Structure 1
């Protein structure tokens, strides 16, 4: 799709969750290479060693941690142009009736509640300028049109909910200039995806990075894979 994207993100600020490895690390590095000041959120800030990233302690299951991370971005830069909700867990693989309730809660906390609450804390900064972007790293396994069978119940449901967050943010804040989109990175060679996956983390990061580079007025409220909108 032909979309206007920034040639450079110089002067802009991004916050990426789960940025210490896999797709999140690639997203953070790619945004920094385009000129953005990137806060790389992770539970252990010492795990981020790249000199062009700003490590920030951020646990998406801890409200104060999320609030403090956004507060630091505000204190140091006074702005936030891009929020990438990337942190996620796979959870139990069997059908729902075999899943432990504690495991269900753990998946929802990371994959859905975390992005909702972090978005809530980040919105005042994102809305200071038209064209703020929220990119939710979702999955085709959460697309209602793709069929929802095959186990991985909590993961699928949480990603459906994440797409719902995208739709809500678009409906509520598009008139304020916010661009909210979801991305399916595909099956990627990460700790979650396994070495059998066909895509590299860099390839998985491509669409989220592209969405994070959208100029004001670009398409939003959509679900994307390989830079094309898909049904969800």
Structure 2
């Protein structure tokens, strides 16, 4: 059995930004400060057929071949498919158990990219969006963070849509920014969902499920990062916006390529981010939330 110096996992990685993140990790790891030997990347996806097809596309990738990035080409990186549907509690449990069993010393990088962007706006869209983008991401973080090596990196892919715009009331913005626990952020998500259901949300919230779900991700990342640091951990936990990327999620409307979108999450995983913890990043720098 091959032994690996570093282990990474990327969620929602069979296409779009997630697949590009896997690709860029393989390309950039050899020159990063983390390089101390072979790297294993878990490309996770909920659909095995699509996940394995993504894996094959990387093996055939011309840039990876010319860089000799993969072990099969004489490089440092192995990429393996691992099933993960973050909207399934059992699947997230199995994923965390796999990491614990197969990597008892811990993993180094976890990039939570899996998300949905549904069309329309009603209480069902809100429920489905929050379930995947907020609650499932939070569960994945809580279950996997104990398996990240001290000094590793955890990256939650959010969006500039998650900034606290003027469409939020001052009291809601204040509660987001002053949240002390994950429960404080979760309570806000619950209030939004309830408000949409009974038609009273517009006084405090935008009518945008995706935006609110990503505000939740940014807020909860800040809380978890602070709590983790207070416990003495050196693991850096941040969220980021990849930009407006041309993917299925944006229905082809983006201005960036998936590789350009992957730049921000990969920087937070491998780059020199000056000890940044709990910050929200976009376009290579920390931005106000």
Q: Distance in 1 between matches of 2:132 and 2:112?
A: 10
| Matched residue count | 216
Q: Aligned residue for 1:209?
A: 266
User: Whose radius of gyration is greater, 1 or 2?
Assistant: 2
1:131/1:217 contact within 8 Å kept:
no
Q: What's the offset of the Cα at 1:72?
A: 1.4
Q: Distance in 1 between matches of 2:271 and 2:263?
A: 13
Q: Please point out which of 34, 46, 49 is paired with 1:46.
A: 49
Question: TM-score, length-normalised on structure 2?
Answer: 0.69
Q: Distance in 2 between matches of 1:134 and 1:145?
A: 26
Q: Please point out which of 33, 56, 69 is paired with 2:82.
A: 56
Alignment of 1:19-34 (within 5 A): 19-33=13-27, 34=29
Q: Aligned residue for 1:100?
A: 122
Deviates more, 1:58-67 or 1:29-38: 29-38
2:162/2:212 contact within 8 Å kept:
yes
Q: What's the offset of the Cα at 1:166?
A: 1.1
Q: Distance in 1 between matches of 2:92 and 2:157?
A: 18
Q: Please point out which of 218, 224, 237 is paired with 1:163.
A: 218
Runs of 5+ consecutive residues of structure 1 not aligned to the other structure: 1-9, 94-98
Give me the CA root mean square deviation.
Answer: 2.2
Alignment of 1:209-228 (within 5 A): 209-214=266-271, 218-228=275-285
Runs of 5+ consecutive residues of structure 2 not aligned to the other structure: 30-37, 60-77, 169-201
1:179/1:216 contact within 8 Å kept:
no
Q: Please point out which of 163, 169, 173 is paired with 2:228.
A: 173
Q: Distance in 2 between matches of 1:147 and 1:213?
A: 35
Q: Which secondary structure does the structure 2 equivalent of 1:196 belong to? A: coil
1:183/1:208 contact within 8 Å kept:
yes
Q: Distance in 1 between matches of 2:273 and 2:146?
A: 17
CA displacement 1:143-180 (0-9 Å, x = unmatched): 01475699761101100000012101111002311211
Q: Distance in 1 between matches of 2:107 and 2:166?
A: 34
Q: Aligned residue for 2:151?
A: 131
Q: Distance in 1 between matches of 2:39 and 2:220?
A: 25
